């Protein structure tokens, strides 16, 4: 298990804590409170954990390819680095180069989100040369088209919550329903996807 997956699992522990709060409030009949926002938080945090996993695994592998501990992928040559970077200065110490590279990769990808079926392979194509979804579908024994559809549905729901307050537009005073089973299924599915990605990337 990669360090990036360990971090993903740690984030899931936080999400499980949120679910425990939801269950407690629900079981204690806190009828005066609308606790559905806890479920929305669980779903959005799961997508954030997925996004962070992709960002971090890509960054780690780029650095490994730079230092020579990992074979360079075809996409590595397409990664754009500032010409004024310390990577082009032979006098710069390797430690300083790696600190700069880590920061530069994070900065370049900071505005990108990797939670959809098209953006995840775009990110990973920088650091591996395989058909990632074909391999993941085999790993989790799922139909590739259906798997992508599920990934995008979860991302769409996350976007409704984050960008539209989960409102039934244009009637902003009414929100889409959400239930615990829906959220738990999404969390379990994303966990399965990350587990498969990590297993496959470890072999490549």
Interval 123-174: pLDDT, tens: 999 999 999 999 999 999 999 999 999 999 999 999 999 999 999 877 767 8
At 22-76, the pLDDT tens digits run 999 888 876 667 899 999 999 999 999 999 999 999 999 999 998 889 999 999 8
Cα–Cα dist 43/197, whole Å: 20
Closest to 74 measured CA to CA, from 124, 113, 110, 119: 124
* Rounded-to-integer distance, Cα 112 and Cα 127, Å: 16
Q: Cα(93)–Cα(101) distance, rounded to whole angstroms?
A: 12
Asked if residues 54 and 120 have their Cβ atoms less than 8 Å apart, the reply is yes
* CB 187 within 8 Å of CB 50: no
**How long is the chain?**
204
State residue 84's pLDDT score. 54
Distance CA 71, CA 59 (A): 15
DSSP string, 54-75: HHHHHHHHHHHHHHTSSPPPGG
Give the whole-angstrom CA distance, residue 185 versus residue 176: 17
Mean pLDDT of the chain: 91
Place of tokens 């505005």: 111
Q: Which residues contact 49 (CB under 8 A, 6 or more apart)?
A: 8, 11, 12, 15, 190, 194
Task: Say if residue 20's pLDDT is above 70.
Answer: yes
Structure tokens at 73: 């992928």
Domain boundaries defined on the chain = 3-55+113-203
pLDDT at site 83: 45
To the nearest 10°, the Cα dihedral for 36, 39, 45, 49? -170
């Amino acid at each position: 298990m990669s360090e990036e997956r360990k971090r993903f699992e740690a984030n899931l522990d936080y999400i499980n804590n949120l679910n425990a709060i939801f269950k407690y409030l629900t079981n204690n009949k806190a009828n005066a409170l609308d606790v559905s926002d806890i479920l929305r938080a669980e779903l959005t945090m799961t997508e954030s954990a997925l996004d962070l996993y992709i960002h971090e695994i890509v960054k780690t592998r780029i650095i490994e390819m730079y230092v020579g501990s990992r074979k360079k992928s075809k996409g590595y040559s397409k990664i754009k680095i500032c010409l004024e970077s310390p990577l082009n200065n032979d006098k710069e110490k390797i430690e300083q180069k790696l600190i700069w590279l880590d920061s530069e990769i994070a900065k370049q990808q900071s505005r990108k989100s990797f939670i959809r079926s098209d953006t995840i392979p775009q990110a990973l194509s920088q650091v591996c040369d395989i058909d990632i979804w074909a391999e993941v579908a085999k790993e989790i024994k799922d139909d590739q088209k259906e798997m992508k559809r599920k990934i995008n549905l979860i991302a769409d729901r996350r976007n409704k919550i984050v960008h539209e307050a989960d409102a039934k537009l244009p009637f902003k005073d009414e929100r889409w329903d959400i239930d615990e089973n829906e959220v738990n299924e999404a969390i379990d599915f994303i966990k399965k996807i990350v587990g498969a990605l990590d297993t496959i990337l470890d072999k490549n």
